[in-house]
Amino acid sequence: MSEPLFSDSFLARTLRRRSFFRVVGATVATSTLLLAGCNDNTNPDPAPTTASLTLGSGDNGLLNYAYLLEQLEAAFYQKVVDAFPADFTAEDKAAFVDLRDHEVIHREFFRYALGTNAYDSGGTSITFDFSSFALTTRAGVYAAARTLEDTGVAAYNGAAKLIADTTTLRLLAKIASVEARHAAFVRDQVQPGSFAASDVVADSGDAAGLDTAKTPLEVVELIAKFVPATIVATSLPTS
């Protein structure tokens, strides 16, 4: 019998621990996942953009959805690292290199885990468009990072209940916790103490005290402006 893709032994072989959150002046420290044998190239040359991309259905579709989000974040942080704003401090630069590395790790994990089920396994990839962001100043970069990290956290929160396989859910929960730490750090740099502000944590109703959750279709609409292709997500689970 073949071994389940996300069994504990599979994870043990493909992931290893590393120190992941070095932020000067912050008190957050934890660890994240590193794909064994992960490609050292953090910014692989993109192939021509396709007119549309289809995420698929079921758990594989949701993994493709997460993969696309991690590609988006990795590309954003790489763009910042390639051309830091003039007013970035040494601490800012170190933090964004770490953030870039984490997102590359997540991206490469999903690429490896999906294999031929990845929406881009045919050799094409997306060249993301970040022209709507002002990336020439520290304030602009952190504001952009906050937008992407908040979207990513809401996306993982909304996708969790849609995952059928519990082992896959456990994996995504681990990655989601890293993304939540990213969001908390970035938000605190934009406005100290805003990591649990009312725009990302509900203050009333049944979800009071919980992070915002968005459905895949809501998130796809939010990220569409960054993706110069039509994202086909209509087959993703909704309940």
Q: Helices marked H in the chain — which ranges?
A: 8-14, 58-82, 90-114, 138-160, 166-190, 216-223
What is the per-residue pLDDT for 13? 40
Q: pLDDT tens for residues 92-131?
A: 999 999 999 999 999 999 999 999 999 998 877 788 999 9
Model's pTM, two decimal places? 0.78
Domain residue limits, the chain: 8-36+61-117+133-232
What is the per-residue pLDDT for 27? 28
Mean pLDDT across the chain: 80
Q: pLDDT tens for residues 158-212?
A: 999 999 999 889 989 999 999 989 998 998 898 776 555 455 455 655 554 556 8
Q: What own/partner pairs with CB < 8 Å and gap ≥ 24 does 231-234 have?
A: 231/52, 231/53, 231/55, 231/68, 232/52, 232/53, 232/54, 232/55, 233/55, 233/61, 233/65
